[in-house]
Structures are given as C-alpha cells and as structure tokens.
Amino acid sequence: MNEDDPIYLDHNATTPILAEAVDAMLPYLQEHFGNPSSSHVYGQRAHAALERAREQVATLIKCQPDEVIFTSGGTEANNLAIRGVVSANTPNAHVITSVIEHPATARPCAWLEQQGHRVSRISVDQDGRLRLAMVEAALAEVAGAVPGLALNGHRDHRLPNTLNVRFPRVAGPALLSLATDVAASTGSACHEGHDQPSPVILAMGLSPDQAMGSVRLTLGRSTNETNVLRAADILASAWSRLTPVGRPTNNKV
C-alpha cells in the first residue's frame, strides 16, 4: 500500500500476504508450476512441496500430517468440517451453534437441520456474548449423552482486532461513500452490496434502522495507531457532514 492510499481497515475481508509467504510461494507460481497430481517431474516437485507444507502445519498444530487437509478457503473448510464430520460419523447429531455465525457456518448447520439433525442456536446479549444459561444447558445435555465427554473452549464470541461502530441517524454505506480516505465495510464481504442490516447486529437487540448505521473496522499487521486515529477523524467528519445537528454521545455498539 502506498502512502496516498486510503487507510485500510477491512482486514477481515482480505489482508495483504506477508512477504515471507510470497517468497515461499513464488517458486511454485513460476518454475515449479506443475500439478501435484501429475506423475511427471513437474508434478513430483509440486507434490513434494505440498507434502512438506502439510508436515510443517502438522508440526505446528501437533497433529498427524494425514489429518491436515488443504482447502480453497474458509467457506469450503467450514462446510467440510461441519457437514463432513457430522454426516460421516453421527446418524443423529446435536449441533450447537450461535445466532451470530458467519453464513459459511450458519448455512451448513441449516443444511444439517434439513437432513434431520438437531441444531441448537445460542442467542447473545447486547454485547454479543453468548447467553451463559443457554450454553450451559446445551453443553450439559450433550455431556449427559456422551459418558466421559470433556467440554473445552470459551463462551465469549469475540473476534480480535474487530470493532463495530454505530453512527446514529445515518446509513453505513452512505457514511463510507463520503469517507473515501478510509477503506472499511458495513459487514462481512459476502454481505457487501446488499442493502440489509447485519444479522449479527440485529441478534444483539438493535433495530433494523440502528443496525443500518453500523460500520465494521478491522485491523491487521500493517495497522498502526496513527492509522486508527486518522480514520476516526475521517469517519467523524463524514458523519458530521451527513448529520450537522451535532455529535453522538456514545456510538460504540
């Protein structure tokens, strides 16, 4: 990114590839370009590199190499994990999820429900935290059905480096169209271009009109404090141009 480019605060949508990753990949985008499934030398080189990468990932996450499956992205991975595991191993599964999942998670769960599996969806409070009583009830039911089952994990449902800000009396897309020096979004990339409020914000108890004023700001490795402070000024200025009657008192969702 150049110095004159807008401040990039949409890292949840996509983020720049690290230079180290580019250097590691470049030989296989140029001279070692073979299909790893091919039997000739070009394919063998690519296959060997793929298996080395699989072993490195396995070492990093402490599993066996044959347990590492590379996919094209998050949506495919979520479908493989949710639909694949349940369909392959559990005739009558009980899936516990939340009402604020990304569509890449919510839709596979809905598909499983259509296939006859049970799906429990945990609601959230106004801060986006899972409702503890519902979590405990659902987990207790699962634990009771599986003797010796140990339950791990966190009940909070937060994404690091992610902030959702609500600007009163304006629509998020209109605000961002004025704040051209900030590259941000109103929600997940798969929802961009659809004039609908975020289901996550609605699940937290806001009205559709309130939710339409939300802007999602997500940070990455390249983001610094100067970027954040400058972006705040730009967004506040754009909001003032849209609503000259005054400043909001507290606009954090």
pLDDT digits (tens, 9 = 90+) for 29-43: 999 999 999 999 999
What are the b/e assignments for 142-165, b being 16+ CB within 10 Å?
A: eeeeeeeeeeeeeeebeeeeeebb
| Mean pLDDT in residue range 106-132 | 93
Average pLDDT estimate for 132-156: 71
Percent of the chain, pLDDT > 70? 88
What average pLDDT does the segment 94-100 reach?
Answer: 92
Question: For position 142, what pLDDT does the model report?
Answer: 76
Helix (H) or strand (E) holding 147: none
Give backbone dihedrals phi and psi of 95, rounded to 5 degrees, phi first.
Answer: -100, 130
User: Which range (3-7, 123-127, 247-251) has the least confidence?
Assistant: 247-251
In this predicted structure, what is the pLDDT of residue 244?
63
Q: How far apart are CA 61 and CA 68, in angstroms?
A: 10
Q: Which residues pair with 119 in a beta bridge?
A: 95
The average pLDDT across 61-70 equals: 97
What is the C-alpha separation between 63 and 196, in angstroms, rounded?
41
How many whole angstroms separate alpha carbon 54 and alpha carbon 36?
Answer: 13
Q: Per the structure block, which two tokens stand in for 240?
A: 């003032």
Give the residue from 199, 202, 218 showing the smallest Cα distance to 210: 202
Maximum Cα–Cα distance for the chain, whole Å?
A: 70
On average, the pLDDT of the chain sits at 88
Which of the residue ranges 166-170, 231-235, 244-248 would you say has the lowest mean pLDDT? 244-248
pLDDT score of 20 more than 80: yes
User: How buried is 213 (Cβ within 10 angstroms: 0-12 exposed, 13-18 middle, 19+ buried)?
Assistant: buried
> Per-residue confidence at 252, pLDDT binned at 50, 70, 90?
very low
Question: Residue 63, exposed/middle/buried by CB under 10 A (0-12, 13-18, 19+)?
Answer: exposed
pLDDT of amino acid 149: 53
pLDDT 10s digits, 198-228: 888 999 999 999 999 999 999 999 999 999 9
Kind of pairing, strands 214-218 and 182-183?
A: unpaired
User: What mean pLDDT is predicted for residues 90-117?
Assistant: 92
Report the C-alpha dihedral over residues 55, 152, 79, 164, rounded to 10 degrees: -110
Of residues 246 and 85, which shows the higher confidence score?
A: 85
| Residue 89's pLDDT band (cuts 50, 70, 90) | confident
Structure tokens at 222: 């390249």
Better pLDDT: 148 or 226: 226
**Coil, helix or strand at residue 252:** strand
